[in-house]
Amino acid sequence: MDVRHFADARAALGVVAEPLGAAGAEGELSLGLLRRLIDTPDAFGSEVTMIAGEQDGRPVVFVLMTGDHPAQVAGFADPGEIGFGDLVAAMLDVGRRAPGVNGARYVSEPFAQAWSDVAGARAAVRRDMHAFELRVVLPPAAPPGSFRTASAGDTDQLERWTLAFADDIGEAISPQEASETVARILPHGDLAVWERDGEVVSMAAVVRRTPWSSSVAYVYTPPPLRRRGYASAVVAELSQRELDAGQSWCSLFTDAANPTSNHIYTEIGYEPRCDFRHLTLTW
């Protein structure tokens, strides 16, 4: 397998956009990150690694690592055709040691194993996720209240909820990071809420777009208000808004260990695409 390094996201996108797009929700994260890097080259700091493995001139795998985040891997061929050890060696050659690996299990697991075989890393499962796609919304029974786009007046509450959401999924962030996240998404109309009797009771956001899809995340309802259908309603309305705007499908990732969230999303039309596995690497 030949390994190609990319100096900028536009060059990488020119090679892997088609297979990432064809992979649906499986490739959406990598595709969305590349597009953001084109729009904002310093979005994730100065350390960005982008490499593709090629066989007979066609990409069979793509790895994207920003800062000290896990290396995101997307495969476009049978794992047996991919030289995962070559990818590890290529990253080590440029001084990049991944703190973890994330991607569909059929590629993230052998990639993590290669880090163990080549560099002596110890791999451990951090989280299992389900990747979902939605192409047709199945409207849920609407709870009392209504859907609306979040406004600047919601900022303080949305920042608190973003912190709480991060705690819920075990990925704690600082108040400054929560503020920056809301500030990045809110002005574009990509944060939405469900409001009842003048009170905001649930939120969801579009966090990435590709030419074909929108990725929904930051779905949060405060614990005292859960199990009333608010999250289902706001996600269904937001997803329908994106489809109505011309997107072919929406993606959404859930924690495999949370049966409640997995159930509510399938009820409104999200269908499982593949299983993701995030593994940590330590030496």
191: its two tokens:
């944060």
Does the pLDDT of residue 221 top 90, yes or no? yes
243: its two tokens:
């489809």
36: its two tokens:
């953001």
The answer to whether 127 and 103 have CB atoms below 8 angstroms apart is no
CA-to-CA distance for 66 and 12, rounded, in angstroms? 14
CA-to-CA distance for 277 and 129, rounded, in angstroms? 6
Residue 87 confidence (pLDDT)? 98
Residue 267 confidence (pLDDT)? 96
Residue 258 confidence (pLDDT)? 83
Residue 244 confidence (pLDDT)? 98
Closest listed residue to residue 72, CA positions, set 46, 40, 96, 38: 96
pLDDT digits (tens, 9 = 90+) for 75-122: 999 999 999 999 999 999 999 999 999 999 999 999 999 999 999 999
The answer to whether 139 and 239 have CB atoms below 8 angstroms apart is no
Does the pLDDT of residue 178 top 90, yes or no? yes
The values of phi and psi at residue 188, to 5°, are: -95, 5
- Counting Cα atoms < 13 Å in the Cβ hemisphere of 182 gives 24
Rounded average pLDDT over 24-34? 93
Domain-wise residue ranges, the chain: 2-128, 136-247
17: its two tokens:
């956009």
Task: List all residues 6 or more positions away from 282 whose beta carbon is below 8 Å from its beta carbon.
Answer: 121, 122, 124
Residue 85 confidence (pLDDT)? 98
Task: Tell me the whole-structure pTM to 2 decimals.
Answer: 0.91
Does the pLDDT of residue 275 top 90, yes or no? yes
Does the pLDDT of residue 150 top 90, yes or no? yes
Query: Residue 215 pairs with which residues in a beta bridge?
Result: 208, 251
The region of weakest confidence among 39-53, 116-130, 132-146 is: 39-53
Query: Residue 128 pairs with which residues in a beta bridge?
Result: 277
Does the pLDDT of residue 43 top 90, yes or no? no
Residue 218 confidence (pLDDT)? 97
**44 versus 266: which is more confidently predicted?**
266
Evaluate whether the domain defined by 2-128 bears CATH number 3.90.550.
no
> Domain 136-247, what architecture?
3-Layer(aba) Sandwich (3.40)
Rounded average pLDDT over 201-230? 96
To which residue do tokens 């919601």 refer? 154
pLDDT digits (tens, 9 = 90+) for 252-263: 999 988 887 788
pLDDT above 70 as % of the chain: 100
Domains 2-128 and 136-247 share a fold: yes
Paired sense of beta strands 48-55 and 2-5, if any: antiparallel
Residue 136 confidence (pLDDT)? 98
